[in-house]
């Protein structure tokens, strides 16, 4: 899907934004950049800001008009910051990305980004099937051009690779990619017994007046879901304490 996307920057003033947009695109796996009548391009600043996305700049297509850049694209999307007089189908970046993914046409999908200071003209926006609006704070709604390209490219990548939704099982305690097997319940019980004995030996814990010491420690170590190596390390610490206490 990503290779069907044309990112079209219209009348860009600052070459740095062109370079930064190229980098944002490549970071997200996009590669087809079109420039409609850029004010200053090629330019060193574009090269500098592109980082390792020089191949995107090498393959850039510069055109005189928006129509040339759109070419035979089957779906045309225009970014729009402001509310326009005439209501138009309006989508968020996420909706656009899902739409792009479902687009049946084999033709390209063109996404237009306007001028730094005033976006796309009404005439340009009327060439678009869909208007795209990036959610922003009311106080300052105008994103830098390359940042807007970044957000849209990011959503396109997530949609393309099905990462748009966090996996249900994904939690911060997820151990699917953990390097060591999780400790078994039996091993944990042996650990608790050992821990309790050590706590008695160092006069921290008295089984006759237990308060909630062991309950709280069990809750702590149950929550963390230790792996075998972590458990072995804690057992090793307990053994060292045993030895120290025994030697006193």
**Residue choice 1, 13, 29, 68 for contact with a copy of itself (CB under 8 A):** 29
**Residue choice 59, 126, 184, 244 for contact with a copy of itself (CB under 8 A):** 244
Closest CA to 93 of 105, 83, 81, 85: 81
Q: How far is the CB of 85 from a copy of itself (least distance, A)?
A: 9
What DSSP element (H or E) covers 102?
Answer: helix 93-102
Q: Which is nearer to a copy of itself, 61 or 91 (CB)?
A: 91
Q: How far is the CB of 69 from a copy of itself (least distance, A)?
A: 22
Give the 3-state secondary structure of residue 172.
coil
Q: Per CB under 8 A, which of residues 154..193 are in contact with a copy of itself?
A: 154, 157-158, 161, 163-166, 168-174, 177-179
Q: How far apart are CA 94 and CA 23, in angstroms?
A: 20
DSSP strand pairing (75-79 vs 90-91): unpaired
Q: How far is the CB of 81 from a copy of itself (least distance, A)?
A: 10
Q: Which is nearer to a copy of itself, 64 or 137 (CB)?
A: 137
Q: How far apart are CA 133 and CA 195, in angstroms?
A: 58
Q: Which is nearer to a copy of itself, 72 or 140 (CB)?
A: 140
The answer to whether residue 59 forms part of the interface with a copy of itself (CB under 8 A) is: no
227 token code pair = 């792996």
Measured on CA atoms in the order 161, 19, 150, 156, is the torsion positive or negative?
negative
Phi-psi domain of 119 (left: phi exceeds 0; alpha: psi -120 through 50; beta: other): left
Q: Per CB under 8 A, which of residues 105..124 are in contact with a copy of itself?
A: none
The answer to whether residue 135 forms part of the interface with a copy of itself (CB under 8 A) is: yes
Q: Which range binds a copy of itself by CB under 8 A, 4-12, 57-65, 183-191, 240-248? A: 240-248
DSSP state of 3: G
Q: How far is CA 244 from CA 192, 195, 207, 240, in A?
A: 19, 15, 22, 6
Closest CA to 231 of 165, 174, 184, 197: 184
**Residue choice 39, 43, 51, 182 for contact with a copy of itself (CB under 8 A):** 51
Number of residues that bind a copy of itself (CB under 8 A): 79
The answer to whether residue 1 forms part of the interface with a copy of itself (CB under 8 A) is: no
Q: Per CB under 8 A, which of residues 190..229 are in contact with a copy of itself?
A: 199, 202-204, 213, 216-217, 220-221, 223-224, 226, 229
């Amino acid at each position: 899907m990503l290779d069907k996307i044309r990112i079209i920057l219209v009348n860009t003033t600052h070459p740095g934004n062109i370079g930064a947009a190229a980098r944002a695109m490549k970071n997200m796996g996009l590669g087809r950049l079109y420039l409609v009548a850029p004010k200053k391009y090629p330019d060193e600043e574009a090269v500098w800001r592109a980082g390792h996305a020089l191949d995107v700049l090498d393959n850039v297509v510069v055109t005189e008009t928006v129509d040339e850049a759109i070419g035979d694209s089957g779906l045309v999307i225009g970014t729009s910051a402001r509310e326009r007089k005439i209501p138009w189908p309006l989508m968020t970046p996420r909706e656009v990305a899902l739409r792009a993914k479902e687009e049946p046409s084999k033709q390209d999908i063109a996404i237009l980004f306007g001028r730094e200071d005033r976006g796309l003209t009404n005439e340009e926006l009327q060439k678009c099937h869909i208007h795209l609006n990036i959610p922003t704070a009311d106080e300052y709604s105008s994103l830098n051009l390359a940042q807007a390209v970044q957000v849209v490219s990011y959503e396109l990548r997530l949609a393309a690779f099905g990462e748009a939704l966090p996996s249900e099982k994904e939690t911060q305690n997820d151990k699917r990619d953990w390097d060591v097997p999780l400790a078994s319940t039996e091993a944990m019980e042996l650990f608790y017994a050992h821990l309790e004995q050590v706590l008695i030996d160092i006069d921290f814990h008295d089984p006759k007046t237990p308060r909630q010491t062991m309950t709280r420690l069990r809750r702590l170590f149950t929550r963390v879901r230790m792996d075998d190596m972590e458990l072995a390390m804690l057992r090793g610490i307990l053994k060292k304490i045993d030895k120290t206490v025994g030697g006193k």
